[in-house]
Amino acid sequence: MDLKRVVVTGLGALTPLGKSVSQYWQSLEQGVSGCDFIRQFDVTKFKTRFACEVKDFEASDYLDKKEARKMDRYCQFALIASDEAVKDAGISKENVNPDRVGVIFASGIGGLITFQEEVINFASGDGTPRFNPFFIPKMILDIAAGHISMRHGFRGPNYAVVSACASSTNAIIDAFDNIRLNKADIIITGGSEAVISAAGLGGFNAMKALSERNDDPKTASRPFDKDRDGFVMGEGSGVLVLESLEHALARGAKIYCEIAGGGATADAHHITAPHPEGLGANNVMRVALQDAGMKPEDINYINVHGTSTPLGDIAETKAILNVFGEHAYNLNISSTKSMTGHCLGAAGALEALACIMAVTKDIIPPTINHFTDDPELDSKLDFTFHKAQHKVVNAALSNTFGFGGHNASVIVKKYKA
């Protein structure tokens, strides 16, 4: 069977670094930290009091107020970012068949804020079950995909993907597969997350997963630094419009890049910790390269999972050295989580977007907040510390790994006719 080539024709983003793709990319390029003290709720008694929030966000600035009230914050993010992506792709009723346009969207946790609010309201009452009639549809993981399809009338494949922090990378891979197998012409894909709440913060604190650097939030996310002490929570949404090359050319769409391949594996090791030798990460990068028909030396840049956790950063670099061998020292590696924080189920989409911009503009975003070398990491690797680098990027790989041992990698490359 001849597989169709798949290209990216639209992008959307709502992030801690800006409320559009251009703002997001500009902040990444400039090495801006999106971290600050949490403003959404009182964090006085929490071990961690900071996160990378989407700042000054009012849903009513983008959505009808009545409709916005029917959505959790994560779904509002998804709709706003997807609006930008659909507009960027130039999709209209005149140039697409809505039966051939799908939405495959992701979230790692979904409507946690809604769930928390409803449970608190019930627990503080007299026991009478008074729940918001939109409680369930606001909370469920698939509702963002449903809302996006209803907003634009897209009637193709429509579902949600969840694999913790690998969720939106898996969604991108599913969208890629649907198009190259000719099950759709266009798929709106990506992910959204908004769980900076008492339940979210408290839960991750209880796991000892978060940085507690309350004295200096902006430098708390420190991937590959000797003194890293955990990840920083982030929130936001990233959206990609994937389209068959044939269809994109026929309607005269602009093309950012081509999706080359993707892979998914499991660690089969631990519910939260990575395999100490990076076995799953090693395997998933190999699978992605094989799927793309590429060699390790074809990759110029890796946007790593790089969460700033003591174990995770070491395991991932071991995997990179294993897969890429000597070419690992020619690669640029960076963790944009040093700027965005860890956006959980949205991380894969936002980091794939960073790879797309790197390929498009030949600029590699930096890893910020590096102060002390870690002797357990190979110092010859180029982690792109401090400043963006201008370098030809023909192909980039994005890694995402989730609790439960889920691993997903996607490769993007320059489009060539």
Question: Which neighbouring-strand residues pair with 259?
Answer: 6, 412
The catalytically annotated residue of 147, 152, 342, 370 is: 342
Which string of DSSP letters, residue by residue, matches 36-73?
EE--SS--TTSS--EEB--TT--GGGTS-HHHHTTS-H
Look up residue 392 and give its amino acid: V
Instruction: Enumerate the β-bridge partners of residue 262.
Output: 410
Cα–Cα distance, 153 to 315 (Å, whole number): 44
For 269, the 3-state DSSP assignment is: coil
State the catalytic residue, choosing from 152, 247, 275, 305: 305
Identified catalytic residue from 35, 52, 165, 343: 165
Per-residue DSSP letters for 214-231?
A: TT-GGG---TTBTT---B
Amino acid at the residue 198: A
DSSP designation for 291: H
Residue pair 172/240 in contact (Cβ under 8 Å)? The answer is: yes
* CA–CA separation, 216 and 224 (whole Å): 17
Q: Is 247 a catalytic residue?
A: no
342 an active-site residue?
yes
Q: Residue 177 is encoded by which pair of tokens?
A: 């597969």
> Which residues, in sequence order, are CB contacts of 241 under 8 Å at separation 6+?
8, 9, 10, 11, 85, 86, 88, 89, 91, 186, 187, 188, 189
CB 162 within 8 A of CB 345: yes
Active site residues per annotation: 165, 305, 342
